[in-house]
Structure 1
Amino acid sequence: MTPPPPPRSRLFARPGRGRAGGHLIGTYGLPALTALLFLIFSVTLPRTFPTLDNISSILTNQSIPAVLALGATVPIVTGNFDLSIGYGLGLAHVMVMQLIVHEGWPWPLACLAVIAGGTAVGVFNGVITEFGQIDSFIATLGTGSMLYAVTGWVTGGGRIVPGPDGLPDAFTDLYDSTFLGLPVPAFYVLALAVALWLLLERLPLGRYLYVIGSNRRAADLVGIPTRRYSVCAFAVSGLVVGLAGVLLAAQQQLGNPSVGLDYLLPAFAGALLGSTAIKPGRANALGTVVAVAVLAIGLSGIGQLGAQFWVTPLFNGGTLLVVVGLAGYSARRRLRTGITADRRRGSRAAPP
């Protein structure tokens, strides 16, 4: 005899449907928020916000924070934080100007030297964190303070200003030129995001980094050289900081010893907020790009609405507090979901 069908209310209460909805919200909620914010500001400011000039301005102004946020994402994957990125950015762009303006180096050689120096700083951060057994917060904060001291020593506390002939056009074009009608820096961000996505999601190195970040002891037990790969994560962060310093020098066209610190909070806000999207509960490159887009649209919109100058740091600081909470919640939710799934698989595999 065929049993009667369940009541209609139970047909729509299938197991996992609520979890699937929550997963979709966690994965695509931030991109949806990006589109919603753009729509709201476009309706509120129809003459200035949804224009090609404004979009180009957003892409140009937020390219360096986006690059720096992508650099901060890699150590976060391993459970570490690189607080030296703001100080490193300041030193990198000052060194580019110093080598070109005062030392007379060809600009390509100066850029390569600064990127290599940024990588070396990242390796140093990784070594003192992993082999010196110093917490990454303390280690990179101390390193950052040292980098700031070096910046002051190089500049003497003043700015590095080019001579009457200015900087080479090819160098300034690294930031000021366009491609396909869009600012070239936007394509740098896209290329870097794709490269980090491939590194973290498609290559064994990225998988090892995620394992280290989720359970370092388990990574040690399965034979993953956790210290070596953590140093590699810091090295990638340092390389990206060097690249961001080159772009900042091409943008500013002078050496300002204090400018790098302004990028620290936006970078971490983007990296941490990105861990709540696309791959909720873990830092990822695509989520970071989406997070930076949300922050950029929000800042541009409130700026055009006439916000005062102090709103920007207030927005960045408040956003950082919120996203740290969201990132922690996403990580705990991901852990609970994984534990529940493991228990269900174990119950199904248990003999009757």
Structure 2
Amino acid sequence: MLLVVVFSILAPTTFASVDTFRTILSTQAVLALVALAALLTLVVGEFDLSLGAQMGLAALLVPGLCANGAVSIPMAIGLSVAATTCVGFINGLLVAKAQVNSFIVTIGTAALISALVLAYSGGTVIFDGVPQELIAISSTRVFGVPLPVIYVAIAATAVWVLLKRTPYGRYMAAVGGSKDAARLSGINTSMVTISTLTLAGTLCGLAGVVQAGQLGSGNPAVGPAFLLPAFAAVFLGATAYIVGQFNVWGTITAVVTLGAGVAGLNLLGLPSWVEPAFNGAALLLAVTATRYLRGAPL
């Protein structure tokens, strides 16, 4: 609210408008989906640093597969989401079964995905032959509400139900709290970890589909840049609603907050480096605040 008030005063003709807020919500949909994926992994006590790369992979595969009518758009979407789901599954196996630290596993996975993206695209944007119908995935509005906002609302509600209204969600929280205690309680910690990382991969695939629809092309450079703001949103979200805990609605609110801040700074004409600086500062403040609110000594 403070950001909205400040930027509405500083840029009243550009920031304080319905179109601006609609644009913020629509453009932040991809980040929201990646942040929900990061939220799931953090709940089970793991860091997946390949989430941005996974999203970028799907965002490249969708237009690449359906270009020049090679496959239908639904088939391209299905194959792209399946690819990131498989990546998440492999991450889960290496973390849960091979007992490799999730940092190491997902850094390696991200590097491999980056290599695959470059090999597939040749380092160039894929736009030749991409059907215009792909753009409808992200540009269509239902009663004035952009479809990406609806996608996020459905995904966020599903993740909230999963975490708060199912036994599986309680298993996830138990594994994140203490794997040894969860294992002694009879929880299959390996299964929970593998399935959670797999689900995170699916969410990243869906985020990539939305991104492809927004761009109308396949850009090999998109993806990794979403990792930092996604984690910033999850940690910032832990300072609201359920203080000191990772939660869905706090994460979504944080995504909107980051989006409003970046949009306001851009409308004021500040240089492009301000965006990563803003996201980085938000992450540092969020982690510090979350640690303080949990009662940990600073």
Is residue 192 of structure 2 the alignment partner of residue 213 of structure 1? no
Is residue 97 of structure 2 the alignment partner of residue 131 of structure 1? yes
Cα distance in structure 2, aligned partners of 1:328 and 1:236: 27
Is residue 31 of structure 2 the alignment partner of residue 68 of structure 1? no
Q: CA deviation at 1:110?
A: 0.9
Q: Which residue of the partner structure matches residue 251 of structure 1?
A: 214
Q: Which residue of the partner structure matches residue 159 of structure 2?
A: 196
Question: Could you say if the C-alpha distance between residues 46 and 168 of structure 1 is closer, same or farther in structure 2, counting changes exceeding 3 Å?
Answer: closer
Q: Structure 1 length as normaliser, TM-score? A: 0.81
Q: Secondary structure at the match of 2:163?
A: helix
Question: Could you say if the C-alpha distance between residues 38 and 217 of structure 1 is closer, same or farther in structure 2, counting changes exceeding 3 Å?
Answer: same
Deviations 1:295-321 (A, max 9, x none): 111111222222111111111112122
Is residue 165 of structure 2 the alignment partner of residue 167 of structure 1? no
Question: Could you say if the C-alpha distance between residues 254 and 203 of structure 1 is closer, same or farther in structure 2, counting changes exceeding 3 Å?
Answer: same
Q: CA deviation at 1:36?
A: 2.6
Q: Which runs of 4+ in 1 moved over 6 A?
A: none
Q: Which residue of the partner structure matches residue 28 of structure 1?
A: none
Deviations 1:242-293 (A, max 9, x none): 0011111111111111111121111111112112221222211111101111
Deviations 1:5-33 (A, max 9, x none): xxxxxxxxxxxxxxxxxxxxxxxxxxxxx
Which amino acid in structure 1 is aligned with residue 131 of structure 2? L
Cα distance in structure 1, aligned partners of 2:295 and 2:176: 14
Cα distance in structure 2, aligned partners of 1:103 and 1:324: 46
Q: Identity percentage over the alignment?
A: 38
- Of 280, 295, 302, 2:258 maps to 295
Q: CA deviation at 1:190?
A: 1.0
- Of 98, 121, 132, 1:155 maps to 121
Cα distance in structure 1, aligned partners of 2:61 and 2:69: 10
Is residue 67 of structure 2 the alignment partner of residue 101 of structure 1? yes
Across the aligned residues of Structure 1 and Structure 2, the Cα RMSD in angstroms comes to 1.6
- The answer to whether the 8 Å contact 2:44/2:177 transfers is yes
Q: Which residue of the partner structure matches residue 267 of structure 1?
A: 230
Cα distance in structure 1, aligned partners of 2:158 and 2:278: 30
Q: Which residue of the partner structure matches residue 12 of structure 2?
A: 46
Which amino acid in structure 1 is aligned with residue 174 of structure 2? V
Deviations 1:58-101 (A, max 9, x none): 11211111111111110000110110011111111111122101
Is residue 196 of structure 2 the alignment partner of residue 233 of structure 1? yes
Q: Which residue of the partner structure matches residue 85 of structure 1?
A: 51
Question: Could you say if the C-alpha distance between residues 133 and 103 of structure 1 is closer, same or farther in structure 2, counting changes exceeding 3 Å?
Answer: farther
Cα distance in structure 1, aligned partners of 2:285 and 2:219: 31
Deviations 1:129-185 (A, max 9, x none): 11111111111010110111111111122221232xx4142x311101112212211
Cα distance in structure 1, aligned partners of 2:222 and 2:208: 11
- Pairs aligned (count): 297
Q: Structure 2 length as normaliser, TM-score? A: 0.95
Q: Which residue of the partner structure matches residue 284 of structure 2?
A: 321
